Amino acid sequence: MPWWRVVGAAGRMMIRAGVLLLLFVAYQLWGTGLATSRAQESLANKFETLQRTAPTVTDPATAPTDLPIPEPGDPIGRIQIPRIDVDFIMVQSVDLRYLQNGPGHFPQTPLPGQPGNSAFAGHRTTYKAPFNRIDELAPGDVITVTTLQGTFTYVVDRHVGEDGTLDSGHFIVKPTDLSILDQDKGNRLTLMACNPKYSAATRIVVTATLTTPAAPATARPDTSNTVTDNAALDSLANGDPGAWPAAILWSLLVLAVWVGTWWLARRWRRLPAYAIGTPVVLVLLFLAFQNIARLLPAGI
């Protein structure tokens, strides 16, 4: 084969690879939000149903304590941060598959509104990026959380900023720093995400102090045998290895349908063949991207 044909074929392959990468980036930035929006709608309906069936709470300090322990993925409340336009239903667990649906609660910490440190993790750049702008929070900003025990108000704490002055609403820790889950610092809310954006190198942390009466504690799930007892091992850093089989399967289906479309175009009419095959390829590619994205850290 003449060298120019080899170079031409290699160039076409690189162009196709570049288009695939651009499509994946577009999916990460915008496509992931579609799934999260659907999940948030479903979670909001479930949470509203739980609110209707739960006992009426007039004073959170005397709220019921016999509430069922949330299962992973269950809605546990709504978080609203007006300063950065956050309004999300929160879910139980920080496994990556549940963080795709909304901010996730570390199940070994108290539920929000209860005594102690209630800790959460969330995405910053994908899946509607609930914690995208937490670096903009300033001391004194208000965070409101509504659970089955009532509505609770938190005020963002003051921390030492990068310039050494006490004027920051956040601080940065290493991924192995477990102090963000400590329970000896009063009634607080801790929000954590990967940092910087598009990376999982460090963690950005915002803490806020409960300013309304605390609700009584409820039972917590047994997390002694789960990786969520160690923030360094959670899915924020490692992605979801269970997505490999599905990612490979959908990718092979994309390749098979694309090759079939190319073969049909060479033996039939090019335009009708690609008009039929391209939409099918795009749907399969979307499903492949869904599972490939699960393999990436939450900071991506």
Residue 1 confidence class, pLDDT cut points 50, 70, 90? low
Residue 255 domain-assigned (yes or no): no
pLDDT surpasses 60 at 9: yes
Q: What is the CATH number of the domain that holds 169?
A: 2.40.260.10
Residue 27 domain-assigned (yes or no): no
What is the residue range of 174's domain? 37-238
| pLDDT of res. 225 | 63
When comparing pLDDT for 201 and 114, which is higher? 114
Across all residues in the chain, what is the average pLDDT? Answer: 90
Write out the chain in H/E/C secondary structure.
CCHHHHHHHHHHHHHHHHHHHHHHHHHHHHHHHHHHHHHHHHHHHHHHHHHHHCCCCCCHHHCCCCCCCCCCCCEEEEEEEHHHCEEEEEEECCCHHHHCCCCEECCCCCCCCCCCEEEEECCCCCCCCCCCCHHHCCCCCEEEEEECCEEEEEEECCECCCCCCCCECCEEECCCCHHHHCCCCCCEEEEEEEECCCCCCEEEEEEEEECCCCCCCCCCCCCCCCHHHCHHHCHHHHCCHHHHHHHHHHHHHHHHHHHHHHHHHHHCCHHHHHHHHHHHHHHHHHHHHHHHHHCCCCCC
Q: How many domains does the chain have?
A: 1
Residue 288 domain-assigned (yes or no): no
At 149-169, the pLDDT tens digits run: 999 999 999 999 777 778 899
Residue 282 domain-assigned (yes or no): no
Residue 273 domain-assigned (yes or no): no
Residue 268 domain-assigned (yes or no): no
Q: What is the pTM of this model?
A: 0.86
| pLDDT of res. 40 | 98
Read off the pLDDT of each residue in 128-156 and give the average, rounded to a whole number: 97
pLDDT surpasses 50 at 231: no
Residue 92 domain-assigned (yes or no): yes
Residue 259 domain-assigned (yes or no): no
